[in-house]
A and B are shown apart, each in its own frame.
Chain A
């Protein structure tokens, strides 16, 4: 028995050694995923980005990833394992990996870390995020045009700034078209539970909304909307397959461009810590094709998209009031990034109480 194990171990050790030697000349770029790479939503979008990175720079780099990594001590271990295995850059793709990333980064000053959607950085930890709310503004405008009832349903996950920001942006966009527009918000308290998301969609539709949008990850709400014959917006990836006659557009996370940009900088020796919050113009999010809508609505959406890209239009621009009626932004003033990233209030007109 012992002999067998020993033989196994040595032969495998040799194998491992040769495998490592042949890959020596390529830089290793690594990813830590919180979900399964085929979750159809958040993690899958990151994995598509990783594949694009491989396609673009495959002759100079190789990629590795760990999936379904729970947040907490397990994440620390996973990140450390990658750092020790010789990764040059490690992308940690969930908010909950923030403290783990910072801790491990302290131990490995020569490894570069990139943490998605967090707010803590270090000399070798950059943060990156996407201005999803820009897409939500366009969605709001489309919803206001499409909806007969003047009311949209919003399936939300958790009341974190990211989600609250999206709700506000959607409503501001909608009210720029129809000042009377309303939204109903339902908190599913999950990112990922197809059944519950479907139930939330049904509840909203039963209460009379005729457009729904979601900030949860599965295509279940899209399927429900298709079945009930109303329109809906996709989230994280293009969900047109789930609703060929239903999806108006989707906010598609296209992390690939960022991954390529940062990896290239790393290869050139020009990597520096940054905290980038890119938007439509940088290509970190894109709008899926505008479908299932009249041409004039499509034209409006495209114009808005162009204006946001050129910087002419910023969704959070005054005059805006908070939900309680107090002044927030004066006419012409735009919200600063700090306020947005910590957003914990609704703008005027949201018909919901923010869970506290």
Chain B
């Protein structure tokens, strides 16, 4: 295996959780809901996935547990912000505080245990393709899921009626309501999808990236996922590009060090955030692209008039 290939493999592992969590949040935001609790849902997913795997011995049950825990946890956010119309920003932050605490309690007895790594699924023949084979066809299930998610989310949002409804809810909830779309139900589903994705991303952390549980192991990746959604200007394929770019920057920074190239690491670490701001400026400078991409009702609560 050549070094470029090796680096790419590392980048894929580092980028997968970001891409998955960001895709989930993208759908949530497309429906007009801003859930800042991605970090909290992700760490819940990581804890539950690891504990379930250790209890049952099956990492696949672990994945399921991660997804379910993320979705259930997001329901709490949904109930507060959608049913009780509490402020989304504050509730999202509170969700993160709660998630860090609860996950710590769930995982307490499992700290220091070495987990089973999620096995690779090797596609015969395809995995023999030089170069691309091992990168794309000799991976774990969560990686394949992430690819399926990108394609699925893109198809759903832009090619299906339900997707169109979801986007219209995000663009103008009152018009959507007037058209007879159930705004609250749509948003509940979108929030839960976001939670499920964050949970799956957490499962990737504790089953693939580093098969273990330690408190706080998401270490800010949920916040990066939030940044990615914006960086991608709410487009699924750009999430992939952004996620892999982000992964590539952080990994190549480590390689640059090992090669002995000295640039202040803080500068490199700040690049993705500055790039996100730059992208924001570019897309919003032009009013037309803004209108096409940004969900106009983002962060605004909706109460149907009766």
Contact = CB atoms under 8 A, between A and B. Distances in A.
Are A and B a genuine interacting pair, yes or no? yes
Interface of A: 36, 38-40, 44, 153, 184-190, 192-200, 202-204, 206-207, 218-220, 223, 227, 241-242, 351-353, 355
Interface string B233-260: 0000000000000000011001101111
Nearest to A227: B117
A206 B260 contact: no
A36 B6 contact: no
Contacts, number: 104
Given A39-B214, A193-B219, A223-B210, 10 more contacts: A38-B112, A185-B257, A186-B254, A187-B265, A188-B254, A193-B217, A195-B14, A195-B209, A206-B3, A218-B214
Contacts of A198: 209-210
Contacts of B214: 39-40, 192, 194, 218
Q: Is the interface of A mostly helix, strand, loop or mixed?
A: mixed
Contacts of A153: 258
A355 B260 CA distance: 11
A351 B255 contact: no
A207 B257 CA distance: 11
A185 B250 CA distance: 16
B260 A202 contact: no
B12 to A, nearest CB: 11
A186 B215 contact: no
Contact of B211 (A36, A185, A223): A223
Contacts of B111: 38-40, 44
A355 B255 contact: no
B278 to A, nearest CB: 24
A203 B209 contact: no
B114 to A, nearest CB: 5
Interface residues of B, number: 36
A207 B259 contact: yes
A203 B215 contact: no
A36 B212 contact: no
Contact of B258 (A195, A204, A355): A204
27 contacts: A36-B215, A36-B216, A38-B108, A38-B112, A40-B214, A185-B257, A185-B258, A186-B254, A187-B257, A192-B214, A194-B209, A194-B210, A195-B217, A196-B219, A196-B250, A199-B14, A199-B250, A203-B7, A203-B257, A206-B6, A206-B255, A219-B114, A220-B212, A223-B212, A352-B260, A353-B260, A355-B262
Given A185-B257, A203-B254, A241-B114, A219 B215 contact: no
A186 B104 contact: no
A248 to B, nearest CB: 17
Contacts of A242: 114, 212
Contact of B205 (A36, A185, A195, A207): A195
A184 to B, nearest CB: 5
B173 interface: no
B138 interface: no
B228 to A, nearest CB: 16
A353 B261 CA distance: 8
A355 B108 CA distance: 36
B221 interface: yes
Given A153-B258, A204-B258, A241-B112, A38 B7 contact: no
Contact of B6 (A40, A44, A184, A202): A202
A186 B112 contact: no
Contacts of A189: 265-266, 269
A298 B255 CA distance: 32
A212 to B, nearest CB: 11
B186 interface: no
A204 B3 CA distance: 11
Which of B108, B258, B269 gathers most chain A CB within 10 Å? B258
A341 to B, nearest CB: 25
A39 B255 CA distance: 27
B219 A203 contact: no
> Considering residues A40, A184, A197, which has the most beta carbons from chain B within 10 angstroms of its beta carbon?
A40
A40 B112 CA distance: 6
A194 to B, nearest CB: 4
Interface string B55-66: 000000000000
Contact of B254 (A38, A44, A199, A355): A199
A130 to B, nearest CB: 21
A197 B217 CA distance: 11
A36 B104 contact: yes
Contacts of B215: 36, 38-39
A84 to B, nearest CB: 26
B14 to A, nearest CB: 6
A187 to B, nearest CB: 6
Contacts of A207: 3, 255, 258-259
